[in-house]
């Protein structure tokens, strides 16, 4: 059957909707097996064409502005603003009532983490597709249940006697009654009472988080066996009876005090995993036996040196070959989808999770499946063939994804070799006193080299030892704290408060004044703004008044303050109340929620609704933000001009101090590319181009040629910002090479106000994504001046090093130190990045030259000192003496030369730094010395001198402290003689 299936799949470049063997039918009397692509299409068409749902594309796998999530892990993620009531009323999303889509999801890391389970069984995945339908204040329970039952039984043809339905049984402790309404709906539809099962909070009550919208849910379960009463197996973790669809009815809001309040607008959120549905409709007991995975499993087999996939699990899969098949097939889907959406393997957050997924896939591919290096990346076209029809970004990014996987694989395999050597060296150094392998070494391998901890355990188990588990758990607890954006005491309206504002007919905030400013005599002039307090938000509710010292959110009828959005920091400033002009109320934050602008303040002298206030904008801070935001647009255009149109913005942030811009480029920018980018930006700034902005209907704006957008939900109409060319001309399909972006930020009116732009930092954050930090105006001038000063310092050093050779070791060492100091200054002083790269290259060359000179002078001095010591001591079996030098390297080289001249001597030399009391120590013993080891000798002497040492059995060195060098020499000699005569 497997071979027949594979033959029917060829060629892999054929159409996505493959017709499988007609011999495999999901249930008796049903149509022939259908493709996953057809099953997905049926779902979308059912809701879109038959029930008037709007088809919304899948959101990218990286969450939009939600720091609580590493990845999009559910279909509802992109609709959170709607559910929370915070959606911009001018956006397309605000008009959504009925929606359907298939959402890309990843559950690996965070609350939902299936990573370690993937491969062990046949149902877990890191990447999956969630088929979803939503109603936002439109239909509710009855319609949702009717649609679900119709789709499953009539359109997909699933026999009703294979289905069971669960509903919420209520919870007395929470004061929640059983969801009898849903139970009655199912009974009316025709579900027998014996197949309609009540469950508690854990199974049938859904919550978004600690607070927010929530409600009862009803789930539909499928019995793979059929012809029996399987009610006891529902929600019992049985592989025979599985949940296929969850219908959530959001009718409550969970308050901070855990109370439940009815939502002002009820919603429906349904989710059904495509992979599980396909396995049901194709009559498979494993998701991996469906056409979503079988082409991948066949491709893996072609590249491996093991037998074909057999579907075994647990003890039956003793060599873990089938587990490896599943791991690689699952992980390559996740890698391809994430990388196509701009998430690349890295060292923190989602990037770190993806890095671990990639390395887990490489391990199973290379170690278990015995596939050659590069096999993993070669599977990407198969993923594209299976999923590219619905997610076209896979086609667009295919080559880059393969390159990235190959580079990361090569680096990981190198790290594995390096880590294995370190483990073996550590084991060799351990003695009987060490019961456990050092946890610090294991954790360092894992964190710095990406060495899997389970692989460390396996290697140690083979050698009869194990990691110090208690210490390892402590290190993991310390290092696995997820760094998240802390909201602190930020005042934010919740869904109930927003609904209350709308019920009270509180108008949305008019913030158009934030764009109303003029340029007069090269100075920006901002309009005065007087406003009325319409609402106050304190704690977690609307209030009519706050007292002195209370922190609250203030909603005004109008504002000139910019709220934090679009990557730009909020404005700063303060309010004054009419009649209290001498009492400022500082504005600590400005945020938007559902069309309202909330000013976060700490009230002074009290504040109440109806009060008149005057807004005082921090104009210096605002202009600085305007400069940086316009400079960001200029930089974006310059990068695309220099690097080509494939360059994509991956994030940005603008503040008064600096601008940060993340961009997709395969490798770090070269010196030439950095110079060209700065020159292009400087040309635009010098031209003092006019900056145009205009609100345009969203659909019309998207027709502008060369328009730059990022993955955001834009309002309609949307603000278009262009440089040098009026937006009206661009709308007339005039193809002009200029910067034009959808942007809600505040901008300069002419580019000349930027004055200058300097890229002071550019580095790859993860493979394929560079982070650029740039400064403007005075900071840019200072950066250029600093670069010139550093360049002069490097030229001076170069002249001195290429001149006459230093006459003494001390002068050579001082020059080498000076090179290091200048290199450190170049690394850490804000200056043009292109110049920094050039200076760093020059300094590394100078460093090599100066270090070579130092080593030569040290060897020369060591030879002279060794000859003098040999003449003084002769070729005795034990030579313990002192010499004057500040260099441990000279001490070591002198010992080496002395031992070379007297190979049967045990040699130790000490150098006493009289001004500090520090003692430098080095020793060497003959190769056949067994009674006195160099490491034991140096450690004993330095320990006696309150210091430390290390080395091998033949050569060792260290440092200590002493005021009496004669006593130290005597002690070192006595220790050696005792050991030599044992």
Query: Among residues 873, 897, 926, which one ends one of the domains?
Result: 873
347 and 326 fall within a common domain: yes
Q: Provide the pLDDT for residue 374.
A: 95
Residues 637 and 601 in one domain: no
Distance CA(553)–CA(260), nearest Å, equals 23
For residue 270, how many other CB atoms are within 10 A of its CB?
26
SS3 call for 490: coil
Q: Could you give the 3-state DSSP secondary structure of residue 8? A: helix
| 46 within 8 A of 39, measured Cβ to Cβ | no
Share of the chain above pLDDT 70, in %: 93
Burial class (CB in 10 A: 0-12, 13-18, 19+), 319: exposed
Asked if 563 contacts 591 with a C-beta cutoff of 8 angstroms, the reply is yes
Do residue 336 and residue 215 come from a single domain?
Answer: no
Q: Torsions phi, psi of 255, nearest 5? A: -80, 170
CA 291/CA 142 separation, integer angstroms: 34
Radius of gyration of the chain (CA): 35
At residue 460, the pLDDT reads 81
Of 211, 212, 235, give the one whose Cα is nearest residue 222: 235
Q: Where are the beta strands (DSSP E) in 107-211?
A: 127-136, 163-168, 196-199, 205-207
Q: Which residue, 403, 298, 945, is CA-closest to 666?
A: 403
Provide the 3-class DSSP secondary structure of residue 193.
helix
Question: DSSP class of residue 155?
Answer: I
Model pLDDT for residues 961-972, shown as the tens digit of each residue:
998 999 999 999
CB 904 within 8 A of CB 926: yes
The CB density around residue 914, as the number of other CB atoms within 10 Å, is 9
End-to-end CA separation in angstroms for the chain: 77
Pair 237, 300 in one domain = no
Do 130 and 254 lie in a common domain? Answer: yes
Percent of the chain with pLDDT over 90: 58
∠ Cα 444 445 447 (to 5°) = 60
**How does DSSP classify residue 389?**
T
Cβ count within 10 A of residue 497 = 22
| Beta carbons within 10 angstroms of residue 868's beta carbon | 14
Whether residues 252 and 348 fall in one domain: no
Domain boundary among 594, 617, 640: 617
| Burial grade of 630 (CB within 10 A; 0-12, 13-18, 19 or more) | buried
DSSP label of 402 = H
On whether residue 703 sits in a domain, the answer given is: no
Q: Is 747 annotated in some ligand binding site?
A: yes
CA dist., res. 756 & res. 779, Å (int)? 9
User: Left (φ > 0), alpha (ψ -120 to 50) or beta: where does 254 sit?
Assistant: beta
Distance CA 528, CA 615 (A): 7
The answer for 105, left when phi > 0, alpha when psi is -120 to 50, beta otherwise, is beta
Residue 845, domain CATH: 3.30.980.10
Whether residues 452 and 394 share a domain: the answer is no
629 annotated binding-site participant: yes
User: Which ranges in 230-320 belong to alpha helices (H)?
Assistant: 274-281, 294-303
What whole-number distance in Å separates Cα of residue 793 and Cα of residue 839?
10
Distance CA 25, CA 19 (A): 12
H or E stretch including 63? Answer: none
pTM of the model: 0.75
Find out whether 759 and 773 touch, Cβ atoms under 8 Å.
yes
Residue 647 neighbours by CB distance under 10 Å: 16
Determine the pLDDT at residue 432. Answer: 63
Per-residue pLDDT reduced to its tens digit, 291-308: 999 999 999 999 999 999
Question: Which of 239, 260, 291 finishes a domain?
Answer: 291
Neighbours of 751 (CB within 10 A): 27
251 and 314 both lie in a single domain: no
Whole-number pLDDT of residue 125: 92
Which CA distances in Å does 355 have to 335, 343, 378, 454, 697?
A: 9, 10, 18, 16, 41
Residue 24 clears pLDDT 50, i.e. is over it: no
Would the annotation count 633 as a binding residue? yes
Residue 424 lies in a domain: no
Domain count, the chain: 6
Quick check: bond before 963 cis, omega within 30? no
Residue 127 is assigned to a structural domain of this protein: yes
The pLDDT tens digits for 73-94 are 888 889 988 888 888 888 888 8
387-413 tens-digit pLDDT: 999 999 999 999 989 998 998 899 888
Is 22's pLDDT higher than 60? no
Q: Whose structure tokens read 């001498």?
A: 582
Six token digits for residue 780: 């840019």
* Contact by Cβ (8 Å): 26, 281: yes
- The reply to whether 445 falls in a domain is yes
Model confidence at 479, pLDDT cuts 50, 70, 90, reads: low
Q: At what angle do helices 393-429 and 349-363 cross, to 10 degrees?
A: 70
Q: Residue 349's pLDDT is what?
A: 83
Judged against a pLDDT cut of 70, whether residue 2 lies above it is answered with no
Q: Is the pLDDT of residue 448 over 80?
A: no
For residues 577 and 623, is the Cβ–Cβ distance under 8 A?
Answer: no
Both tokens assigned to 660: 């940060």
- Does 51 fall in a domain? yes
Relative to beta strand 529-538, strand 580-593 is: unpaired
Q: In this structure, what CATH number is given to the domain that contains residue 134?
A: 3.30.930.10
Q: What is the pLDDT of the chain when averaged over all its residues?
A: 88
Poorest-confidence range of 254-268, 559-573, 958-972?
254-268
The CATH number of residue 965's host domain is 3.10.310.40
**Nearest 5 degrees, angle CA 88-CA 518-CA 635?**
65
Decide if 534 contacts 718 (C-beta within 8 A): no
Q: Nearest CA to 229 among 276, 197, 184? A: 197
Instruction: Output the pLDDT for position 949.
Output: 92
Position 615 confidence tier, pLDDT thresholds 50, 70, 90: very high
What sign results for the dihedral spanned by CA atoms 153, 157, 161, 162? negative
Query: How would you class 915 by CB atoms within 10 Å of its CB: exposed for 0-12, middle for 13-18, buried for 19 or more?
Result: exposed
- d(C-alpha 606, C-alpha 548), whole Å: 4
pLDDT band at 275 (very low <50, low <70, confident <90, very high): very high
pLDDT (0 to 100) of residue 7: 26
Do 369 and 453 reside in the same domain of the chain?
A: no
Structural domain includes residue 422? no
Domain membership of residue 716 (yes or no) is: no
The tens digit of pLDDT for each residue in 691-701 reads 999 999 988 88
Closest CA to 145 of 281, 268, 275: 268
Is 912 among the domain residues? yes
- Mean pLDDT in residue range 96-111: 88
pLDDT grade, residue 490 (50/70/90)? Answer: low
Identify whether residues 452 and 404 lie together within a single domain: no
830 and 952 within one domain = no
According to the model, what pLDDT value does residue 719 have?
A: 92
Q: Please tell me the least confidently modeled range out of 100-104, 187-191, 321-325, 566-570.
A: 566-570
Q: What's the domain range around 668?
A: 624-689+750-873
Distance CA 349, CA 69 (A): 9
Please tell me whether residues 399 and 460 are part of one structural domain: no
**Cα 721 to Cα 741: distance, rounded to the nearest angstrom:** 5
The CB density around residue 613, as the number of other CB atoms within 10 Å, is: 23
Q: At what angle do helices 294-303 and 321-340 cross, to 10 degrees?
A: 110
Cα(327)–Cα(345) distance, rounded to whole angstroms?
Answer: 18
Tell me how far CA of residue 967 lies from CA of 470, 742, 925, 956, 961, in angstroms. Answer: 44, 79, 22, 21, 12
403 Cβ neighbours under 8 A, 6+ residues apart: 377, 666
CA-to-CA distance for 936 and 734, rounded, in angstroms? 81
Above 90 in pLDDT, residue 27? no
| Residue 787: φ, ψ to 5° | -60, -40
CA dist 707 to 626, 632, 645, 721, Å? 21, 15, 11, 10
* pLDDT over threshold 70, residue 21: no
552 is in an annotated binding site: no
Q: Look up the CATH number of the domain holding residue 539.
A: 2.40.30.130
At residue 491, does pLDDT exceed 80? no
CA distances from 439 to 87, 348, 449 (A): 48, 21, 15
User: So what's the pLDDT on residue 111?
Assistant: 56
Q: Strand pairing partners for 278? A: none
Give the mean pLDDT of 322-338.
96
Give exposure, 428-440, as e/b (b: 16+ Cβ within 10 Å).
eeeeeeeebbbbe
**Residue 16 — very low, low, confident or very high, per pLDDT cuts 50/70/90?**
very low
**Tokens 């789709």 belong to which residue?**
151
**CA-wise closest residue to 911 among 954, 861, 978, 877:** 861
């Amino acid at each position: 059957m497997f071979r027949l299936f594979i033959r029917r799949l060829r060629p892999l470049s054929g159409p996505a909707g493959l017709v499988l063997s007609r011999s495999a039918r999901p249930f008796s009397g049903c149509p022939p097996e259908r493709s996953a692509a057809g099953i997905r299409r049926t779902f979308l068409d059912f809701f879109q064409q038959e029930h008037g749902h709007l088809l919304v594309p899948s959101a990218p796998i990286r969450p939009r502005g939600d720091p609580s999530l590493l990845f999009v892990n559910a279909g509802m993620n992109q609709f959170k603003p709607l559910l929370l009531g915070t959606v911009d009323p001018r956006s397309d999303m605000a008009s959504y009532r009925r929606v359907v889509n298939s959402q890309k999801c990843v559950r690996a890391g965070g609350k939902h983490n299936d990573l370690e389970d993937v491969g062990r069984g046949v149902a877990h995945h890191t990447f999956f597709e969630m088929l979803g339908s939503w109603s936002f204040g439109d239909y509710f329970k009855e319609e949702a249940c009717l649609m679900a039952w119709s789709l499953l039984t009539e359109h997909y043809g699933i026999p009703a006697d294979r289905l069971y339905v669960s509903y919420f049984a209520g919870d007395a402790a929470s004061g929640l009654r059983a969801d009898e309404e849903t139970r009655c709906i199912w009974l009316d539809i025709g579900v027998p009472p014996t197949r309609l099962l009540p469950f508690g909070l854990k199974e049938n009550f859904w919550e978004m988080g600690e607070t927010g919208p929530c409600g009862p849910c009803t789930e539909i379960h499928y019995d793979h066996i059929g012809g029996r009463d399987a009610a006891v197996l529902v929600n019992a973790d049985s592989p025979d009876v599985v949940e296929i669809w969850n219908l959530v009815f959001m009718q409550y809001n969970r308050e901070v005090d855990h109370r439940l309040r009815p939502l002002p607008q009820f919603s429906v959120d349904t989710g059904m995993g495509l992979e599980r549905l396909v396995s049901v409709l194709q009559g498979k007991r494993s998701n991996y036996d469906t056409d979503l995975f079988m082409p991948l499993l066949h491709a893996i087999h072609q590249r491996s040196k093991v037998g074909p996939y057999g579907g075994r699990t647990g003890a039956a899969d003793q060599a873990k070959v089938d587990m490896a098949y599943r791991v690689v097939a699952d992980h390559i889907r996740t890698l391809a989808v994430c990388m196509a959406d701009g998430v690349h393997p890295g060292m923190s957050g989602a990037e770190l999770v993806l890095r671990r997924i990639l390395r887990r896939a490489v391990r199973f591919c290379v170690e278990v499946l015995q596939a050659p290096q590069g096999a993993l990346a070669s599977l990407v076209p198969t993923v594209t063939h299976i999923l590219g029809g619905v997610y076209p970004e896979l086609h667009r990014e295919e080559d880059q994804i393969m390159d990235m996987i190959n580079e990361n694989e090569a680096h990981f395999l190198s790290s594995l070799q390096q880590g294995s050597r370190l483990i073996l060296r550590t084991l060799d150094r351990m003695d009987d006193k060490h019961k456990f392998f050092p946890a610090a070494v294991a954790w360092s391998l894992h964190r710095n080299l990406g060495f899997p901890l389970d692989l460390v355990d396996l290697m140690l188990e083979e050698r009869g030892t194990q990691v110090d588990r208690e210490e390892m758990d402590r290190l993991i607890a310390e290092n696995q704290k997820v760094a998240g954006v802390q909201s602190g005491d930020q005042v934010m309206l919740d869904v109930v408060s927003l609904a209350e504002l709308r019920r009270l007919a509180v108008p949305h905030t008019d913030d158009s004044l934030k764009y109303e400013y003029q340029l007069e005599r090269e100075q920006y002039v901002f309009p005065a703004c007087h406003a009325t307090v319409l609402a106050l938000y304190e704690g977690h509710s609307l209030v009519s008044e706050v007292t002195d010292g209370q922190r609250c959110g203030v909603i005004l009828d109008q504002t000139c303050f910019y709220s934090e959005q679009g990557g730009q920091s909020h404005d700063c400033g303060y309010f004054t109340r009419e009649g209290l002009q001498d009492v400022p109320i500082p504005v600590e934050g400005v945020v938007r929620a559902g069309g309202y602008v909330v000013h976060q303040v700490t009230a002074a002298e009290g504040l109440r609704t109806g009060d008149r206030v005057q807004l005082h904008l921090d104009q210096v801070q605002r202009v600085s933000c305007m400069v940086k935001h316009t400079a960001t647009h200029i930089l974006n255009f310059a990068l695309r001009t220099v690097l080509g149109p494939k360059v994509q913005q991956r994030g940005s942030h603008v503040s008064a101090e600096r601008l940060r811009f993340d961009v997709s480029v395969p490798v770090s920018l070269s010196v030439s590319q950095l110079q060209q980018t700065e020159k292009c930006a400087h040309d635009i700034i010098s031209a003092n181009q006019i900056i145009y902005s205009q609100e345009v209907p969203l659909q019309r704006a998207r027709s502008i040629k060369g328009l730059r957008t990022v993955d955001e939900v834009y309002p309609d109409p949307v603000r278009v910002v262009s440089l040098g060319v009026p937006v009206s001309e661009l709308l007339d399909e005039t193809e002009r090479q200029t910067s034009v972006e959808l942007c809600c930020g505040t901008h300069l009116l002419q580019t000349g106000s930027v004055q200058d732009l300097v890229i002071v930092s550019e580095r790859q954050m993860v493979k394929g994504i560079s982070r650029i930090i740039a400064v403007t105006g005075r900071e840019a001038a200072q950066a250029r001046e600093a670069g010139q000063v550093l360049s002069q310092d490097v030229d001076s050093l170069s002249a001195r090093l290429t001149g006459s050779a230093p006459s003494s070791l001390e002068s050579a060492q001082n020059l080498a130190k000076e090179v290091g100091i200048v290199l450190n200054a170049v690394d850490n002083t804000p200056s043009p990045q292109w110049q920094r790269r050039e200076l760093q290259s020059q300094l590394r060359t100078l460093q090599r030259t100066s270090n070579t000179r130092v080593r030569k002078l040290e060897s020369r001095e060591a030879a002279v000192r060794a000859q003098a010591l040999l003449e003084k001591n002769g070729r005795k079996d034990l030579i313990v003496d002192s010499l004057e030098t500040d260099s441990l390297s000279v001490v070591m080289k002198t010992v080496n030369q002395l031992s070379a001249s007297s190979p049967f001597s045990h040699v130790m030399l000490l150098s006493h730094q009289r001004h500090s009391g520090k003692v430098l120590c080095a020793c060497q013993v003959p190769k056949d010395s067994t009674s006195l080891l160099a490491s034991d000798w140096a450690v004993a002497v330095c320990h006696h001198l309150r210091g430390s040492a290390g080395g091998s059995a033949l050569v060792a060195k260290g440092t200590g402290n002493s005021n009496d060098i004669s006593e130290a020499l005597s002690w070192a000699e006595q220790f050696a003689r005792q050991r030599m005569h044992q």
